[in-house]
Structure 1
Amino acid sequence: MSNTIISATANSEEVAVANGTHVLNLSCYVAGKPIASDNVLQVRSPYDNRIVGTVALAGAKETNEAIEAALKGGKKLNRYERYSVLDKTRHLLMQRKEEMAQLISAESGLAIREARYEMGRANDVLMFAAIECLKDDGQIFSCDISPNGKARKIFTFREPLNVAVAITPFNHPLNQVVHKIAPAIASGTPVILKPSEKTPLTAIRLTEILYEAGLPHYMLSVLLGPTSEVAEQLVKDERIDLVSFTGSVAVGKHIAKTAGYKKVILELGGNDPLIILEDADMNLAVTLAAEGAFRNSGQRCTAVKRILVHENIKAAFTKCLVEKAKEYTCGDPADSETKVGTVIDEPAAIYLEDVTKKAVAAGAKVLLGGKREGALLEPTVIADVPRDAQMVMCESFGPLAPILGFTDIDDAIALSNSTSYGLSAGVVTNNMQHAIRFVKELKVGTVNINEVPGYRIENSPFGGIKDSGLGIKEGVIEAMKCFSFIKTFSMPW
């Protein structure tokens, strides 16, 4: 069941309900001020449909107030003060690690072990962003290096933007948010956050922690509400300097068309292959395929969505993967033994079930899994998948492991490049010449050799091309460049 808006008034932070569980009553914030509203979003667990929390929603009035508060500004934090806020936020977050992990799991349906892992990633983002506050990437250019030069020097430094907008998806309720907010704060840029309506509770809790850590309130607002009054208004407003969006291709392209004259960062979908060559280490290949396809319920833009295997080893690999996939137990996300929780909601699971049926109708074979119960979909291994099947031409955001064969390297490269996406790829091989060729010829933003497509650290550049994005990189360091601009000045020297 999708999260729904109801007419009610949230008048306390946490209330008990009939079954003894607790419901968080939260609100949006305009520059630190909680919003009082009769329009309330119910956030339900994808696993058992219980109400996890509610959020008092914003409207056009609050959206405008958030922009005006950011533009008005307030106390400007120096580098050390920005470092201190981010570092304190990191420590406060880690003190509440289990509480936050349980909230992530409850509102998203992700297995608790995945939520705990996400807490560690968020810790890294905050740590790297804090460290970058203490660095200066300014440059100096001597002007007497040409016959037309003068005895001057040109200096560069960074200045923050006036205000940025960050729009985040559901699949990483904490880490996707931190990846936008932390670099903005590190750059000194006020940001207005619009998290996913499907997983807003974690984002609001993070906002409250940032305020507690000493972030000036004008630096951060968090808004949810009707699309026309919040998201659309934020994207179109001429006072906004930048829109950073992570989500679907359709919405990303709509933002690109409507944003107007401002910076736009689009991190969109992926259809990432894991390419397994004939010389690959079989145990490594199987492990990477299972981890890449099933972790986070397969809900990563960089998840393994296509497993391309050389025909000479395809049968042996498929047999091993089926056995490995049996280890990925599916069930109650709150159970520490569960490896795969739900996808984000039942409609998403129904879509995945449907594309699997279509592939089977076209000749594919389900070797393991495939059963659905509500938003739970078992990790599914599918063999003999046609190259034009919907599940491999479009992004299938869930725990599916479709296997396709290829005959040689030329065929593997052509097959990998055959979709409209270009985010990441993984290649499993012990042949350096082959590895180099894939690095050069795959039309993606990242190629990882003997690793899953999505491997990175939180400050390394990340982003895709084609329908996966505009080629603008994220990751803490690159994001900080986007959330600022370079000013130059020169002096006699």
Structure 2
Amino acid sequence: MLVLDEVTSLTGYIAGTPLQSDVLLEVKSPYDGRLVGTVTLGNRKDTEAAIAAGLKGGPLLTRYDRFAVLDKARQLLEERKEEFAQLIMSESGLCLRETRYEVGRARDVLHFAAIEALKDDGQVFSCDISPQGKARKIFTLREPLSLAVAITPFNHPLNQVAHKIAPAIATGTPVILKPSEKTPLTAIRLVELLYEAGLPHHMLSVLLGPTAEVAEVLVQDPRVELVSFTGSVAVGKHIAKQAGYKKVILELGGNDPLIILEDADMDLAVTLAAEGSYRNSGQRCTAVKRILVQESIHDEFVKRFVEKTKEYICGDPADAATRVGTVIDEPAAVYLEDVVKKAVAQGAKVLYGGRRKGASLEPTVIVDVPRDAQMVVQESFGPLAPIMKVKDLEDAIALANGTAYGLSSGIVTRDMEKAIYAVKHLRMGTVNINEVPGYRIENSPFGGVKDSGLGIKEGVIEAMKCFTYVKTFSMPW
């Protein structure tokens, strides 16, 4: 049974003031369907009030003030890490192994954002460097935006929210958060924690409600200077059309390949393929979605990979032995089950797993997957491990680049020349050598190209640049 038995009753906040409404969103466990919590929903009037509160502003925070809030939030999150891990598990169906790991990642985001808040990345340009120059110096500084909007997905209910809110706080930019309706409880708890850490209330609001009255209003309002969205390609492109004349950060889907060459360390390759495919129930934009194995080692890899997959027990997310919880809901699991069936109809073979019960889907090993199968052309967001043969590195790169996505990738090889060749020729935002496609630290640049995003990077340092604008001024010198 899940650990949390009480129903968590939460509300949205307009600059720290709880919403007043009788309209509630019910949040249920994907694992057993029980009611996990409720959230008070807002409407268009509340959205307008949140925008007005953010624009009205309040006392400006010094760099140290911003550092202190973020560092205090980090300390509070550390003290309550198990509470947050249990809450994420209850509303998302992810197992405790994953939710505890996610809390640690979010703690890093707050830590790195606090550090960056203390830094000044201003530049100085001497003007007497050309015949037309003058005895002056030009200085740059970064100033916060008037108001930003952050729209976050379900798959990382804490870390994705932290990745948007923390950089905004570090720069002094007020932000309105619209979390996923599927996993809103963790997001709201983080907002409350930031208030407790001393964040001035005008700096942060959080709202959920009908799309036409909340999300669309936030995206379209010309007073909002930035919209940062992480989620599906379809919704991201819709936001890009609706946002108008403002900054837009889009972190969208991925169809990330792991390329395994014949000279690879086989133990490492098997481990990376399993961890990349099954962690977070496969619900990561950077999860391994396609395993591209050089044909000379294909059969040996498959044999060992099936045995490795057996270690990833699917079951009750609260059970310490469980390594794969549910996907986000039953319709998502049904979709994954369907794309496997379609691949099998095209000639693919399921070697292990594939059984579904409600929102639970076993880790699934599939071989002989056609290159035009839906499950490898589109993003399959779950614990699927389709294995595809490739002739050589050139064939692998052509296959890897042959979808609409370009987020992350990995290559397993002992050959440095081939590794460098892959870095140069894979059209992805990230290429990791002898590591899963999703490897990163929380302050390193992250983002994709093509349908994976606009090429604008996230990660704490890059996000802080997006939440500010550069002002130059000059003085006689």
**TM-score bucket of the superposed structures, by smaller chain:** over 0.9
Distance in 2, matches of 1:20 and 1:58, equals: 26
Structure 1 residues without counterparts, runs of 5 or longer: 1-18
Q: Give, in angstroms, the shift of residue 36 of structure 1.
A: 1.4
Q: What corresponds to 1:46 in structure 2?
A: 30
Is the 2:4–2:90 contact (alpha carbons within 8 Å) kept by the matching residues of 1? no
Is the 2:4–2:87 contact (alpha carbons within 8 Å) kept by the matching residues of 1? no
Match of 1:251 among 217, 220, 235: 235
Alignment pair present for 1:102 and 2:83: no
Helix, strand or coil: the match of 2:7? strand
Q: What corresponds to 2:169 in structure 1?
A: 185
Q: What corresponds to 1:130 in structure 2?
A: 114
Matches within 5 A, 1:433-448: 433-448=417-432
Number of residue pairs matched by the alignment: 475
Matches within 5 A, 1:356-375: 356-375=340-359
Matches within 5 A, 1:87-486: 87-486=71-470
Helix, strand or coil: the match of 1:189? coil
Helix, strand or coil: the match of 1:202? helix
Q: Give, in angstroms, the shift of residue 337 of structure 1.
A: 1.1
Q: Give, in angstroms, the shift of residue 20 of structure 1.
A: 9.6
Q: Deviations over 1:147-203 (max 9, x none)?
A: 110000000001000000000000000000000000000000000000000000000
Helix, strand or coil: the match of 1:312? helix
Match of 1:74 among 58, 67, 76: 58
Counterpart code for 1:361 = A
Q: What corresponds to 1:11 in structure 2?
A: none
Q: Give, in angstroms, the shift of residue 336 of structure 1.
A: 1.3
Helix, strand or coil: the match of 1:339? coil
Q: What corresponds to 1:5 in structure 2?
A: none
Q: Give, in angstroms, the shift of residue 119 of structure 1.
A: 0.6
Distance in 2, matches of 1:429 and 1:316, equals: 16
TM-score by length of 1: 0.96
Distance in 1, matches of 2:45 and 2:299, equals: 60
Alignment pair present for 1:57 and 2:41: yes
Q: Give, in angstroms, the shift of residue 475 of structure 1.
A: 0.1
Distance in 2, matches of 1:351 and 1:20, equals: 28
Distance in 2, matches of 1:25 and 1:452, equals: 38
Q: Give, in angstroms, the shift of residue 44 of structure 1.
A: 0.2
Q: Deviations over 1:199-244 (max 9, x none)?
A: 0000000000000000000000000000000000000000000000
Distance in 1, matches of 2:198 and 2:258, equals: 44
Q: What corresponds to 2:471 in structure 1?
A: 487
Distance in 1, matches of 2:30 and 2:160, equals: 19
Distance in 2, matches of 1:218 and 1:409, equals: 53
Distance in 2, matches of 1:386 and 1:89, equals: 48
Is the 2:4–2:86 contact (alpha carbons within 8 Å) kept by the matching residues of 1? no
Counterpart code for 2:101 = Y
Distance in 2, matches of 1:250 and 1:90, equals: 34
Q: Which runs of 4+ in 1 moved over 4 A?
A: none
Q: Which moved more, 1:264-273 or 1:32-41?
A: 32-41
Q: Give, in angstroms, the shift of residue 31 of structure 1.
A: 0.2
Counterpart code for 2:161 = V
Is the 2:309–2:363 contact (alpha carbons within 8 Å) kept by the matching residues of 1? yes
Is the 2:178–2:206 contact (alpha carbons within 8 Å) kept by the matching residues of 1? yes
Q: Give, in angstroms, the shift of residue 21 of structure 1.
A: 2.3
TM-score by length of 2: 0.99
Q: Give, in angstroms, the shift of residue 93 of structure 1.
A: 0.8
Counterpart code for 1:350 = V
Distance in 2, matches of 1:491 and 1:157, equals: 14
Q: Deviations over 1:98-143 (max 9, x none)?
A: 0110000000000011000001000100000000011000000000
Q: Deviations over 1:432-454 (max 9, x none)?
A: 11001100000100000000000
Distance in 1, matches of 2:170 and 2:199, equals: 11
Helix, strand or coil: the match of 2:428? coil
Helix, strand or coil: the match of 2:296? coil
Counterpart code for 2:55 = L
Q: Deviations over 1:398-457 (max 9, x none)?
A: 000000000012111100001000000000000011001100000100000000000000
Distance 1:232 1:366, change over 3 A: same
Q: Give, in angstroms, the shift of residue 76 of structure 1.
A: 1.1
Query: Identity of aligned pairs, percent?
Result: 76
Alignment pair present for 1:22 and 2:6: yes
Distance in 1, matches of 2:58 and 2:5, equals: 40
Distance in 2, matches of 1:40 and 1:161, equals: 32
Distance in 1, matches of 2:457 and 2:293, equals: 29
Helix, strand or coil: the match of 1:266? strand
Is the 2:229–2:250 contact (alpha carbons within 8 Å) kept by the matching residues of 1? yes
